[in-house]
Structures are given as structure tokens and as C-alpha cells.
Amino acid sequence: MKNNILVLFIIHLVSTGDCATSNCAFSGSCLYNINVHHCDGSAKRSLISTGNRRSCPCSDVISVRNEFQNVSTWVKTINSTFQAVQVDLTGVKAELNEKSVELTATRERNIKDNATISKYVLDMQSTENAITTERQNWFKERERLRNELHKVSRESQICGQVSVSSATSQQGSSTSASTVFFCDFETSNQCGFLQDHSDDLDWSYGHGTQSSRTGPKQDHTYGNPHGHYMFLDAYNHATRHSHATTSTTRIISPELPSSHGYCILFWYNLHGDDVKELNVYAKIHGGLGYPVFSHKGGLDQEWHLGKIYLDSEYTVSSLNLVFEAKTDSYKLYHYSSGYTYHNRNGDIAIDDIYVFNSTCKSIPKYPSNSHTRVTANTTSYYTFHTTPSTWYEAQVTCRQENPYSHLVSVRSKEEQDFIVKIIKQTEDLTAAASNGFYTSGTDDRSEGIFEWTDTGTPYPITYSNWQSGQPNNVGSNQDCLLLQYPDNDWTWGDVNCSEKHPFICEINKTLP
């Protein structure tokens, strides 16, 4: 746009005296003032006729006329300049209008672009969430399919097995094992076991420690005070009898259908000076026959694995398992001291019963998808479960996986490093591990004193790898040990046992 100086001329003509005549006989009696101003006031011109007001000649008028002509010229120049400026202003106005339209269009495009970008961001977030969800679902589905394939594979081998005669070795053929019954006694119906009321007393439904001199410290499934087992309560029996006598209690399993053979595995505890006898029978057509398993006398506080193989002579028909416990405990009354109890330290307990539709030889020593770690005297097998579960659900899943399986117990830095290495090597484990992995560690028995529970008899944790500030028992209900912090190679933390997390199962085999 051109820059023009706008000049404003103000002409002021004042007539005084006797100038009304038309013959120009002014004779100096008229005073004419002409003022010319720039618009910025920087210049000023005055034409003043002075002198004797009585001697005003016509030359004054001529001068004024000349001045008027000059002013007229200046006015024309100013008008021309105004017109040029007006043209320029019109052009500038049109240009500004055009720029305004473009700016408005640009603003609208920016608004649309911002809306589009926001939509893209939301779409990306939604897509990312959907991908994460689908990925987790894929991991779960893959785990489910893997378990189904493993189950189908085992069952297909069992379906193709040939009938084994009673003359076959007790270990029978090597067909794969399929679990047809598992009982951990963690349900109120006790897995369908029934009391045999024809005997002297009933089995008791117990949990925790009954006495430091007898019975298990904890159940075998959980290894903590919340787990359950069935047991012969020697103290309860002693309160019923006032003389030395052998009493028997039996508990009967649900009916097992006929089969080519059964392998029965169960965990039992015979701790106490007064333990008498534990027997297991195969009840067929109402008859017990001889025991298929028997143990007399007490052992230590540990849980021990019992193994029974029933060939086709037993399994050609349906049958029930009968667990029988015996005790001689009783009480005597002395006039001076009251009751005296005898042989009361003889509790007998059972837990985690497995029945496989196969020979005992065919039961896998470890799951096919496990990771193996060999040390100087032990071989350990680890399976990683990515489906989140509570600590209790994880314990049961590990127990069902194999009679020797349990939640992992990390007993050394080398074992911790091995587990971390496996997690980092596998993409789906790394993804799942962001939510941590459960171990068998818990301080449920005594707050702040964590123990491993894999054997069912809790023992102290010697090696530890706690995250700084852990354990902290937030909310006073964090009792389970989790491999929790991936940014620090899964250092440990304590969490609420009812939270759902992935978990690791372990089997330990001591080398000969």
C-alpha cells in the first residue's frame, strides 16, 4: 500500500471595512487573512494585508486571487492524491478481505484438522487397548488349547491301550496317565467321600496344626492354616474310651468306574508316638479284601506320598477306595487327679488324592511344556501359567498338574536368575510378567515371617530378593510372595492372596 501525506489546507478569508462595493475601490480599507496549514501542523502560511486600512489597493485582491489559484492547484493535487489513496485503500481493502477469507478458511481447516487429529489419537488409543486385550485373550486361549491338546493326547493314548491281564507286572504298560479323580479336601462336601458309620468313630475335617506332638503342621495343598485335610483325631477318640482298645475309622471314596487299571497316589501324615496303623482297601461288590496299602507306626512331621497300582483284577468292575485309620488311645479316671489320657498323640491324616486311569509307570515325571534346571544334586522343572489366578487357585492348579508339583520356591540367586532368564526369553511370558508371578511364599502363619509351603510343611526362607521397602503389608492383608517388579528383574513384594496373578509351578527331583 502506498504511503501518502494527507495535506489539509484551511483557507480563512475575512473581509473587514468597506469592501462591499463592486468597483474594487478598496483603498486599503479591507483586511484579508489567508492561512494555509499542513495536516500535521508542521507548516503554516499566512497572507496578511497590512498597512493603512485606508490605503488598501487592488493589488491586494490580485495577490489574493493568485493565492486562490495556487490554493486551487493545491486542492486539485490533494483531490488527485485522495483519489489515488482511495484506489489504494480499495485495493488494500479487497486484499484484506481476501486474506480474511483465507484466514477464516485456514482456521476452519485447522479446527477440522485438530478434530481429525483428536479422533486419530482416540482411535489409536482404542486400537492399542483392543490389541492389548486381544493379546491377553490370545495368551489365555493358547494356554487353554495347549492344556486341551495335552489332555487329548493323553486320553487318545489311553483309549488305544490294550487290556492288561492280572499276570502283567504290577507296573503294567507304559501308556500315558489321565487323571480321573483328584481330591484336595478344600470343598465342604469333601470331594464326595462318605463316613463308614459301621466303625467306632468318624474321620475329622481338619486344618492347621492339631498339636505339636501329633498331626500335620499344615495341610498338603496350601501348606498354611487355611488348607484342609481329613484325619483321625486321637484326642477325640481318647475322650470316648476309658480302657485300652483298638478303634477303627473308615472313609469311603466316590465310586470309580471299571478300567484297565488304576494308579492311586495320595499324601499321608503319620506323626506322633502313638500312631498305630493306616490301611487302604479297594472295595469291590461290598467286600474289602486285603489292604492294597498299609503302614504301621509313626513317621516324622513331613507329608509322604503313598502309591498303589490296581490291575484289571481289581478294576474289571467299579470300586471304591476305603481309607482306614486305627488307634488305641483312651482315658482313665483317677480319683485324686481326674482324667489321665493315654496314647493320644497318634493322629493320622490324608490329603491330595489322585486316581489315574493308567499304570503308575506311565505318569509323566514332569509336564511336557516345562523348563529344566539341573544343579549338582537336583533337577527342577518349571511351568509358567499366564492365566491370572488367586494364590489358592494357583496352588490347586500346581497340585493337579503333577503329584509332585507345587508353587515355585525360589531358594537361591541362581534359581532367581534362571527364572528371570526364561521370562525374558519368551515374549508372552514377558508380557504376562508385567503382572508378576506367584510363588509358594507366605507369612500367613506369623505376620512378617515368610515361609515356603511347597512341601506342605512350612520352612523358613533363607535366600531373599525383596524390593526396597518390601514386604510392607499394606492394608494388613498382604500375605503372599509375588515376583513383582519387572523393572528390577522381578524382585519380590507381598500382595493380597486373593489378587489374581500369573504363577509358576515347580517339581524338584533329587538325583541319586
Q: Is the Cα dihedral 425, 431, 436, 439 positive or negative?
A: negative
Would you tell me how many other CB atoms lie within 10 Å of the CB of residue 168?
A: 15
Residues 226 and 333 reside in one and the same domain? yes
Residues 291 and 329 reside in one and the same domain? yes
Amino acid at site 51? G
Residues 80 and 50: beta-carbon distance below 8 Å? no
Per-residue model confidence as pLDDT tens digits over 452-468: 999 999 999 999 999 99
Q: Return the bridge partners of 374, or none.
A: 379
Looking at 287, 322, 356, the residue that finishes a domain is 356
Residues 336 and 432 reside in one and the same domain? no
Residues 376 and 351 reside in one and the same domain? no
511 confidence band (pLDDT: 50, 70, 90): low
Looking at 327, 356, 385, the residue that finishes a domain is 356
- For residue 505, the enclosing domain spans 371-510
Residues 321 and 275 reside in one and the same domain? yes
Would you tell me how many other CB atoms lie within 10 Å of the CB of residue 260?
A: 20
Per-residue model confidence as pLDDT tens digits over 287-330: 999 999 999 988 988 999 999 999 999 999 999 999 999 887 66
390: cell is 488367586
Residues 203 and 351 reside in one and the same domain? yes
State how beta strands 228-232 and 204-207 pair. antiparallel
Q: Is the pLDDT of residue 50 over 50?
A: no
Residues 309 and 394 reside in one and the same domain? no
Q: Is the pLDDT of residue 228 over 90?
A: yes
Residue 115 within any structural domain of the chain = no
169 confidence band (pLDDT: 50, 70, 90): very low
Least confident of 9-23, 380-394, 474-488: 9-23
CATH code of the domain in which 345 resides: 2.60.120.200
Residue 430 within any structural domain of the chain = yes
- Top-confidence range, 44-58, 150-164, 234-248: 234-248
Q: Is the pLDDT of residue 232 over 50?
A: yes
**pLDDT the model gives residue 71:** 80
Closest CA to 208 of 498, 390, 446: 446
Residues 385 and 143: beta-carbon distance below 8 Å? yes
**pLDDT the model gives residue 161:** 36
Residues 423 and 324 reside in one and the same domain? no
Residues 332 and 303: beta-carbon distance below 8 Å? no
Q: Is the pLDDT of residue 165 over 80?
A: no
Residue 150 within any structural domain of the chain = no
Cα 17 off chain centre by: 110
Least confident of 70-84, 263-277, 482-496: 70-84
Residue 20 within any structural domain of the chain = no
- Of the CA atoms within 13 Å of residue 150, those in its CB half-sphere come to 15
Residues 202 and 349 reside in one and the same domain? yes
Which residue intervals of 383-486 are DSSP H helices? 391-401, 413-425, 427-432
Total of domains in the chain: 2
Average pLDDT score over residue span 398-404: 94
Residue 102 within any structural domain of the chain = no
Q: Is the pLDDT of residue 54 over 50?
A: no
- Top-confidence range, 159-168, 322-331, 396-405: 396-405
Residues 136 and 387: beta-carbon distance below 8 Å? no
Q: Is the Cα dihedral 69, 75, 78, 79 positive or negative?
A: negative
CATH code of the domain in which 417 resides: 3.10.100.10
Which one has a higher pLDDT value, 493 or 133? 493
Three-state DSSP class for residue 501:
strand
Q: Return the bridge partners of 78, or none.
A: none
Q: Is the pLDDT of residue 393 over 90?
A: yes
Mean residue pLDDT across the chain = 80
Residue 288 within any structural domain of the chain = yes
Which one has a higher pLDDT value, 320 or 70? 320
Residue 63 within any structural domain of the chain = no
| Measured distance CA(408)–CA(162) in Å, rounded | 37
DSSP for 113-175 reads HHHHHHHHHHHHHHHHHHHHHHHHHHHHHHHHHHHHHHHHHHHHHHHTPPPPPTTS-TT---P
Q: Is the pLDDT of residue 29 over 80?
A: no
Residues 6+ apart with CB under 8 A from 90: none
Residues 392 and 246 reside in one and the same domain? no
| Measured distance CA(51)–CA(72) in Å, rounded | 27
81 confidence band (pLDDT: 50, 70, 90): confident
Residue for cell digits 495320595?
A: 266
Residues 240 and 290 reside in one and the same domain? yes
| Measured distance CA(389)–CA(184) in Å, rounded | 17
Burial environment of residue 489 by CB neighbours within 10 A (0 to 12, 13 to 18, 19 or more): middle
Residues 243 and 347 reside in one and the same domain? yes
83 confidence band (pLDDT: 50, 70, 90): confident
Long-range contacts, stretch 293-296, CB < 8 angstroms, 24+ apart: 295/268, 295/270
Residues of the chain with pLDDT > 70, as a percent, come to 74
Least confident of 151-165, 289-303, 371-385, 431-445: 151-165
Residues 160 and 357: beta-carbon distance below 8 Å? no
Average pLDDT score over residue span 358-383: 92
Looking at 292, 324, 356, the residue that finishes a domain is 356
Q: Is the pLDDT of residue 230 over 60?
A: yes
Average pLDDT score over residue span 244-266: 90
**pLDDT the model gives residue 287:** 94
Q: Please confirm whether the linkage preceding 471 is cis (ω < 30° from 0).
A: yes
Residue for cell digits 494308579?
A: 263
**pLDDT the model gives residue 489:** 95
**pLDDT the model gives residue 146:** 57
Closest CA to 348 of 248, 230, 443: 230
Backbone conformation region of residue 52, classed left if phi is above 0, alpha if psi is from -120 to 50, else beta? beta
DSSP for 388-400 reads EE-HHHHHHHHHH
**pLDDT the model gives residue 37:** 45
239 confidence band (pLDDT: 50, 70, 90): low
Backbone conformation region of residue 261, classed left if phi is above 0, alpha if psi is from -120 to 50, else beta? left
353 confidence band (pLDDT: 50, 70, 90): very high
The radius of gyration computed from the CA coordinates of the chain, to the nearest angstrom, equals 52
Average pLDDT score over residue span 400-426: 95
Average pLDDT score over residue span 25-53: 45
- Of the CA atoms within 13 Å of residue 416, those in its CB half-sphere come to 18
**pLDDT the model gives residue 158:** 38
**pLDDT the model gives residue 331:** 59
- Top-confidence range, 46-50, 170-174, 486-490: 486-490
Residue 328 within any structural domain of the chain = yes
Q: Is the pLDDT of residue 17 over 50?
A: no
Per-residue model confidence as pLDDT tens digits over 85-105: 888 888 888 888 888 888 888
Average pLDDT score over residue span 185-203: 87
**DSSP-assigned letter for residue 259:** -
**pLDDT the model gives residue 209:** 87
